């Protein structure tokens, strides 16, 4: 699944190749409420076209107007501030006195953008560091936990592949998790080696993979992936978890009660999974929100994944055990 950053970079390359002068705007800092978080991107050209978003449209249109009227700064990168006055905040839709700073660059070559896309297409992470004094930009290796930063001297933005959900099992719960996951911009891959269930999978946009779970996890689970074992079949779930707990996946979860997950941890330990890796297992999967129906449980599961994705440690307490579907698929 193509990310918003991916779309901005590809479109900027197309515009540069067509001979357009292209500008790249990045949200550097926000104060109070703001439409888009730091690190958000938009590219624009004098014809009035833009792609991506730093505000939802108002500021992009203002930048295009400045470009057409030759009112952009003469030196790049340039820092542009919006929302300083109450009138500006109202004009640009910044609620409650919100304010944000944009870094505006003039792009001159497709090569640096193509280098970033090569990293993304290879599902690798990279930090683009921009010197705000000279405009020099370089790519550096990165980890999934690095965050966007702008300290007045350098702006560092993480680029990488889109988020992925690898679901083990094509049962009823997986259908809800897949639909909600795609709404959250995850690429969803469903591993289902059981032909009778794989043949019944009909969720548009979610990819069915008929490999054995360990093979699928070994091939697909990376630092931007969450692996969810949802079959309630220990033979399949344990195969997936053996690989997932040793993979770079940022979240590994398994359906089932606390008692069933305790048994699962014992089985995995006898198969050689280390205590450190066992500690990575979220079982029962998801947050304890009193969920009962498959849709509610899917909400709880994705809430847990979302918390982990944002580095927030939230664990269900034993006395608040989330409902878990007792299904065969």
**Does residue 31 belong to any structural domain of this protein?**
yes
In 186-256 the beta strands, taken as DSSP E runs, fall at 187-191, 207-209, 225-229, 251-254
**Does residue 147 belong to any structural domain of this protein?**
no
My answer on whether 90 and 169 are in the same domain is no
Cα gap 303→250, rounded to integer Å: 14
Residue partners of 110: CB distance under 8 A and separation at least 6: 13, 16, 17
My answer on whether 23 and 168 are in the same domain is no
My answer on whether 219 and 278 are in the same domain is yes
Residue 84 confidence (pLDDT): 63
Cα gap 205→188, rounded to integer Å: 8
My answer on whether 228 and 294 are in the same domain is yes
Pick the last residue of a domain from 58, 90, 123: 123
Residue 137 confidence (pLDDT): 96
**Does residue 158 belong to any structural domain of this protein?**
no
Distances (CA, A) of 294 to 101, 173, 174, 207: 43, 5, 9, 20
My answer on whether 182 and 269 are in the same domain is yes
Expressed as residue numbers, the domain containing 254 is 164-320
Residue 278 confidence (pLDDT): 97
My answer on whether 86 and 198 are in the same domain is no
Which residues share a beta bridge with 104?
A: 25, 78
My answer on whether 180 and 286 are in the same domain is yes
**Does residue 145 belong to any structural domain of this protein?**
no
Pick the last residue of a domain from 92, 108, 123: 123
Residue 329 confidence (pLDDT): 37
Kind and range of the H or E element at 150? strand 149-150
CB 287 within 8 A of CB 303: yes
Residue 312 confidence (pLDDT): 87
**Does residue 225 belong to any structural domain of this protein?**
yes
CA–chain centroid gap for 118, Å, is: 18
My answer on whether 170 and 312 are in the same domain is yes
Residue 321 confidence (pLDDT): 46
Residue 287 confidence (pLDDT): 93
Residue 85 confidence (pLDDT): 67
CB 26 within 8 A of CB 102: yes
My answer on whether 97 and 178 are in the same domain is no
- Which pair of structure tokens corresponds to residue 11? 């479109």
Cα gap 212→217, rounded to integer Å: 9
**Does residue 144 belong to any structural domain of this protein?**
no
My answer on whether 217 and 119 are in the same domain is no
Report whether the peptide linkage leading into residue 77 is cis, meaning its omega lies within 30 degrees of zero.
yes
Other beta carbons within 10 Å of 170: 29
**Does residue 39 belong to any structural domain of this protein?**
yes
My answer on whether 114 and 171 are in the same domain is no
My answer on whether 177 and 264 are in the same domain is yes
Count up the domains in the chain and report the number: 2
With DSSP H G I counted as helix, E B as strand and the rest as coil, what are the percentages for the chain, rounded to 5? 35, 25, 40
Cα gap 268→256, rounded to integer Å: 15
Residue 311 confidence (pLDDT): 86
Sites in the chain below the pLDDT cut of 70: 1, 33-34, 56-57, 84-98, 315-329
Nearest to 257 by CA among 201, 324, 160, 158: 324
**Does residue 157 belong to any structural domain of this protein?**
no
CATH of the domain at 296: 3.40.50.720
Cα gap 50→200, rounded to integer Å: 41
CB 143 within 8 A of CB 125: yes
Residue 15 confidence (pLDDT): 97
Residue 317 confidence (pLDDT): 46
Pick the last residue of a domain from 95, 123, 151: 123
């Amino acid at each position: 699944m193509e990310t918003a950053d991916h779309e901005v970079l590809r479109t900027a390359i197309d515009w540069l190749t067509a001979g357009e002068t292209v500008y790249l705007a990045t949200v550097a800092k926000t104060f109070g409420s703001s439409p888009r978080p730091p690190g958000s991107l938009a590219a624009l050209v004098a014809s009035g076209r833009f792609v991506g978003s730093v505000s939802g449209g108002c500021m992009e249109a203002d930048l295009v107007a400045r470009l057409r009227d030759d009112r952009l700064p003469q030196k790049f990168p340039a820092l542009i501030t919006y929302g300083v006055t109450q009138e500006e905040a109202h004009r640009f839709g910044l609620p409650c006195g919100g304010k944000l700073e944009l870094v505006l660059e003039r792009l001159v070559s497709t090569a640096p953008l193509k280098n970033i896309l090569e990293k993304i297409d290879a599902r690798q992470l990279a930090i683009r560091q921009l010197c705000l004094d000279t405009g020099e930009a370089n790519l550096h290796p990165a980890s999934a936990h690095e965050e966007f930063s702008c300290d007045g001297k350098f702006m560092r933005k993480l680029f990488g592949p889109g988020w992925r959900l690898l679901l083990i099992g094509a049962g009823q719960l997986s259908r809800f998790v897949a639909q909600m996951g795609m709404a959250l911009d995850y690429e969803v891959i469903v591993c289902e080696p059981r032909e009778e269930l794989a043949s019944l999978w009909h969720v548009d946009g979610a990819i069915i993979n008929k490999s054995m779970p360990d093979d699928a996890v070994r091939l697909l689970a990376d630092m931007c992936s969450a692996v969810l074992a949802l079959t309630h079949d220990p033979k399949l779930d344990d195969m997936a978890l053996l690989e997932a707990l040793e993979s770079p996946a940022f979240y590994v979860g398994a359906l089932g009660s606390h008692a069933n997950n305790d048994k699962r941890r014992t089985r995995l330990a006898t198969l050689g999974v280390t205590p450190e890796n066992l500690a990575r297992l979220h079982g029962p999967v998801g947050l304890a929100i009193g969920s009962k129906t498959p849709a509610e449980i899917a909400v709880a599961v994705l809430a847990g994944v979302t918390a982990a994705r944002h580095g927030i440690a939230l664990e269900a307490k034993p006395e608040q055990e989330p409902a878990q579907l007792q299904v065969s698929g």
